[in-house]
């Protein structure tokens, strides 16, 4: 019986095979933050995310363009920071021994199967270059400097979220 390349250990995949594991769902490009042992993913995407194509617009230069904001999915990342990837990620799924999700294009032979399964960020994504991160950071600094109450800070964050159409899509336990 012939083994499919995605059934091999991840450490044995070629660069081309490694790239084919990606489902092009866009979830790794979502802005996220951790709160204790919980990580939250939003609908707000990296500024280089192309919503129509559901992929990075500067993929080959993403580490130069996005600087520290973009992390390459490697075995080291899976071992050290797997929580940065959602549980539905094909890399994470293989690393954790769960196999590929049933809607993965390598299994379905359909390039749109991830979108059809509702696992793509294509319909949820908001991409903006108008400074969400900077606005949130300024609000946090102002809150610290002026000793705002947590209630006042959360009210300000809610206003910012509304302005930027930011919604927290899903959360999960890191451990």
For residue 35 the two structure tokens come to 């709160």
> What Cα–Cα distance (Å) separates residue 104 from each residue in 49, 59, 71, 87, 156?
21, 21, 22, 14, 40
Give the residue extent of every domain in the chain: 19-127+167-173
pLDDT: which is higher, 64 or 108: 108
Q: Give the model confidence (pLDDT) of 128-162 as tens digits.
A: 655 666 777 777 788 888 888 888 888 887 887 77
The H-assigned helical ranges of the chain are 15-21, 62-65, 75-81, 90-95, 105-108, 113-116, 132-145, 150-164
Q: Give the model confidence (pLDDT) of 40-59 as tens digits.
A: 888 778 878 888 888 888 88
Signed CA dihedral, 75, 80, 86, 92: sign only: positive
């Amino acid at each position: 019986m012939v083994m499919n390349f995605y059934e091999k250990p991840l450490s044995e995949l070629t660069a081309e095979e490694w790239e084919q594991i990606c489902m092009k769902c866009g979830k790794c490009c979502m802005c996220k933050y951790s709160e204790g042992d919980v990580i939250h993913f939003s609908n707000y995407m990296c500024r280089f995310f192309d919503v129509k194509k559901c992929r990075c617009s500067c993929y080959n230069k993403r580490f130069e363009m996005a600087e520290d904001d973009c992390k390459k999915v490697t075995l080291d990342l899976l071992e050290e920071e797997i929580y940065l990837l959602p549980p539905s990620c094909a890399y994470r799924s293989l690393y954790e021994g769960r196999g590929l999700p049933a809607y993965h294009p390598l299994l379905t032979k359909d390039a749109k199967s991830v979108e059809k399964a509702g696992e793509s960020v294509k319909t949820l994504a908001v991409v903006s270059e108008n400074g969400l991160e900077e606005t949130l950071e300024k609000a946090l600094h102002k809150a610290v400097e002026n000793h705002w109450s947590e209630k006042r800070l959360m009210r300000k964050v809610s206003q910012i979220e509304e302005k930027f159409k930011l919604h927290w899509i899903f959360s999960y336990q890191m451990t």
